[in-house]
Amino acid sequence: MKGAIQEEIDRAAGWPGDRILLGYGLCSNGIVGVRANRHPLLIPRVHDCIALFLGSNERYREEREKAPGTYYLTKGWIEEKKSPLGIFAEYCQRYGRETAEWVIREELKNYTRIALVESELGLEESHREHARENARFLNLKYEEIRGSLDFFRKILRGPWDGDFIFLKPGEEAVQEMFLE
């Protein structure tokens, strides 16, 4: 992911503006090594991008404490086929159905719940049904949880407080910046 993000940052070097706002956090170290170019970078200080969809780090911590083995789904992840069933379909093409099923179940064996995040934008019944199908396929508990666009609003409007990392031109994102 780092390469794709850095490519976009580099492409923006010729654009007007005084900063680049990223809607991406540490997220499996996908941001580590990204360097601010001509423009400073503003990065949400989140370990897992689901905190952005839940509205805050605090809300993410609450959900993680409630059910640590949760696989979160959003409307966008379902539409982009990034759900377990979407990944399973990719694996079937690569490995065949039997191996694909073993791989996806092995990858997700420690999960206990599928949580569909509903933001203020709402969901369609097709999103709910797809999330329920994922839960049935993996024999996991299914829940819908309230999301919030507050973190995304804060990215766009501020205030840019301790919930954000500010990189000056030439500075590079390192994992330690995301530690609380």
Query: Does this model's pTM top 0.75?
Result: yes
Containing structural domain, residue 73:
65-146
Instruction: Report if residue 55 sits inside a domain.
Output: no
Cβ proximity of 45 and 175 under 8 Å: no
Whether residue 170 sits in one domain with residue 110: no
| β-sheet bridge partners, residue 35 | 172
Residue 180 has pLDDT above 70, yes or no: no
pLDDT at 28: 86
46/14 Cα distance (integer angstroms): 28
pLDDT tens, residue by residue, 104-142: 999 999 999 999 999 999 999 999 999 999 999 999 999
Instruction: Report if residue 59 sits inside a domain.
Output: no
Mean pLDDT value of segment 65-77: 96
Instruction: Report if residue 86 sits inside a domain.
Output: yes
Instruction: Report if residue 118 sits inside a domain.
Output: yes
Residues 6 or more apart whose CB falls under 8 angstroms from that of 58 comprise none
Whether residue 128 sits in one domain with residue 93: yes
Whether residue 156 sits in one domain with residue 142: no
Whether residue 114 sits in one domain with residue 86: yes
Whether residue 117 sits in one domain with residue 82: yes
Please state, in angstroms and as integers, the Cα–Cα distance from residue 150 to each residue in 60, 64, 120, 155, following that order: 13, 19, 10, 9
Instruction: Report if residue 56 sits inside a domain.
Output: no
Whether residue 167 sits in one domain with residue 141: no
pLDDT at 1: 75
Kindly write down the DSSP assignment for every residue of 18-40, as one continuous string.
Answer: S-EE-S---TTTTTTT-B--SS-
Whether residue 40 sits in one domain with residue 88: no
Whether residue 86 sits in one domain with residue 126: yes
Whether residue 141 sits in one domain with residue 92: yes
What's the total number of domains in the chain?
2
| β-sheet bridge partners, residue 145 | 117
Average pLDDT, the chain: 95
